[in-house]
Structure 1
Amino acid sequence: MAYERLKVEVGAVSVVGLSRPEVRNALDALAFREIADCFHRLSEDERVRVVVLRAEGKDFCAGADISWMREAGLLQGEAARKDASLVAGMCLAVAGCRAPVVARVHGSVFGGGLGLLAACDIVVAEASSRMCFSECRLGVAPAVISPFVLPKIGASFALRYYLTSKPFGMDEAVRMGLVHEAVPVAELDARVDAVVADILRNGPGAVAEAKALIRKLASPDLDGQVSRCLDVLVRVRSTAEAQEGLKAFLDGRPASYAASGAQPKG
């Protein structure tokens, strides 16, 4: 598999690496499409028993690419919904992959990167990693990732960290259920390997059935949830507030939300 934003090794244990370290693996339209395509292909390959998701560079993922977000905020109607659906398509492909997906996390993970993690089945992180649901700080809502995040962390933790955009460490990430294990960086690869080895000891058919069953029972109306969240994201992303948040971020200044209003443009 040849991609611009990913490095992929296909085998019984397949490895998918986010490969845009110059922008801290920020996710743009091409990245969303490539991740979705990659996981659809891996899911259809019966040789694949486990997928390890990792990243190059100092951070796992900085979230959505700001340039993509700015351009997306200018879209209207069906074009806006189609663009927003790229995020959902990525998360659906990872969550729906037949093989278990184990995330190996280091550095920082922000915004949409946490949606990607929540779509994974097992998350092992470097103990010094930092995470943040940063969307509200930018004047947008963490909408499309919510059908994947909420089954992991619940409404209480989502309210705490969505509404404040407060960064949190790995002790808290483990406590809320977003991360399963947090280990020193020197032990990270060994712990991921151990998780993979545990999965490989089990019957692949049984593992696939168990994963599908858990996903279905945890989110029986996933498609409906995603559709409703797309409506929210399209509406919020077109507001003056969202434009002010992105502009302030690019300008390196605090956003002036009191003056920006929250009405859709036009």
Structure 2
Amino acid sequence: MPYQRLIVERQNSVLRVTLNRFEARNALDALAMDELSRAFRDAAKDSDIRVAVLSGAGSDFCAGGDLVWMSQCARAPMAKNKKEAQRLLDMFVAIDEAPFAVVAKVQGNCFGAGLGLIGACDVVVAASDSRFAFSEAKLGLIPAVVSTFVIPKIGFGQARRLYVTAQIFSAQFGQDIGLVHEIADAAGLENKVQQTIVHVLSTAPGTTALSKAYLRQFEGLNRKGRVANAVNALAKIRATPQAKEGFTAFFEKRQPKWSL
């Protein structure tokens, strides 16, 4: 089924997913959410995909939730309202749980639900003049669903400040609080993304999925559980063919076969 809200392109092991509703600043309506969920769920079934780049067409990455969609949710019966909130969550989860690295390429404005998108990504590369805001409070809302994906990165202290003020902040501030990882000027943004792709492709296939699954499990464990899980995880991964190839390549002073 063709996409109406996205452009999805495959370049060898790299998937490009572009929000393509630039006339609405890539605001997320129900169709956009469903298509993003589908794009990432389908890609998760393809073991050859190593990296996905999530970007926005036009001048902005994502203005947040579509206001028409949100106003319709507000007027809907509670059961329908909850279903639409679940739709938003499902989209974030599809990105967050992707077994490959997901890189956000951010330019212009990234507001509201757009922050949930980048919170669900593994690496965020932003233009130096991009702007961010948890803008929900200005619409009488709170960043409820978004919180699951941004608080682990920015912490409760920054979340409290940014949620109650709804203030706009810069890419540099976003980097300072852990939301943004790399900053480049507009001309160098794609080059910075390419550098990240090269780094990911230099790693052993499968380790990205294992690392992400390990971190998701880590969050829900107490100290005792984390220690036990760490021992099991390391012992299992060291016994895999890819780990053995990594060790062999190191001692033979050559590149591992997966990077050739």
**TM-score between both structures, scaled by the size of structure 2:** 0.83
Out of 211-220 and 29-38, give the one that drifted further: 211-220
Partner of 1:218: 219
Q: Which runs of 5+ in 1 are unaligned?
A: 221-266
Give yes or no for contact 1:131–1:168 (8 Å, CA) kept in 2: yes
Q: What pairs up with 1:56-135 in 2 under 5 angstroms?
A: 56-135=57-136
The amino acid that maps onto 2:110 is V
Q: Distance in 2 between matches of 1:187 and 1:59?
A: 16
Give yes or no for contact 1:26–1:63 (8 Å, CA) kept in 2: yes
Q: Distance in 2 between matches of 1:83 and 1:219?
A: 26
Q: What pairs up with 1:126-165 in 2 under 5 angstroms?
A: 126-165=127-166
Compute the displacement of 1:219 (Å).
5.2
Compute the displacement of 1:171 (Å).
1.1
Compute the displacement of 1:175 (Å).
0.7
The amino acid that maps onto 2:183 is A
Q: Distance in 1 between matches of 2:208 and 2:110?
A: 28
Secondary structure at the counterpart of residue 198 of structure 2? helix
Identity %, equivalent residues: 42
Secondary structure at the counterpart of residue 161 of structure 1? helix
Q: Distance in 2 between matches of 1:192 and 1:219?
A: 31
Alpha-carbon spacing, 1:132–1:219, altered in 2? closer, same or farther (3 Å): farther
Q: Distance in 2 between matches of 1:169 and 1:24?
A: 18
Structure with the greater alpha carbon radius of gyration: 2
Count of residues paired in the alignment:
221
Give yes or no for contact 1:170–1:182 (8 Å, CA) kept in 2: yes
Partner of 1:238: none
Where does structure 1 differ by over 2 angstroms across 4 or more consecutive aligned residues?
none
The CA deviation string for residues 95-153 of structure 1, in whole angstroms up to 9 with x for no partner, is: 00011100111001000010011000000000000000000111011101111010010
The amino acid that maps onto 1:111 is G
RCO higher in structure (CA 8 A, sep ≥6): 1
Compute the displacement of 1:46 (Å).
0.9
Q: Distance in 2 between matches of 1:117 and 1:67?
A: 23
Give yes or no for contact 1:151–1:219 (8 Å, CA) kept in 2: no
Partner of 1:205: 206
Q: Distance in 2 between matches of 1:100 and 1:218?
A: 19
Give yes or no for contact 1:39–1:94 (8 Å, CA) kept in 2: yes
Compute the displacement of 1:84 (Å).
1.1
Partner of 1:245: none
Q: What pairs up with 1:34-73 in 2 under 5 angstroms?
A: 34-73=35-74
Q: What pairs up with 1:182-193 in 2 under 5 angstroms?
A: 182-193=183-194
The CA deviation string for residues 51-87 of structure 1, in whole angstroms up to 9 with x for no partner, is: 0111100000000000001000011232111111111
Partner of 1:232: none
Compute the displacement of 1:168 (Å).
0.1
Give yes or no for contact 1:63–1:109 (8 Å, CA) kept in 2: yes
Give yes or no for contact 1:124–1:180 (8 Å, CA) kept in 2: yes
Q: What pairs up with 1:244-259 in 2 under 5 angstroms?
A: none
Alpha-carbon spacing, 1:198–1:40, altered in 2? closer, same or farther (3 Å): same
Secondary structure at the counterpart of residue 68 of structure 1? helix
Secondary structure at the counterpart of residue 144 of structure 2? coil
**TM-score between both structures, scaled by the size of structure 1:** 0.81
The amino acid that maps onto 1:197 is V
Q: Distance in 2 between matches of 1:40 and 1:200?
A: 21
The amino acid that maps onto 1:98 is P
Secondary structure at the counterpart of residue 145 of structure 1? helix
Partner of 1:249: none
Q: Distance in 1 between matches of 2:220 and 2:152?
A: 7
Compute the displacement of 1:187 (Å).
1.1
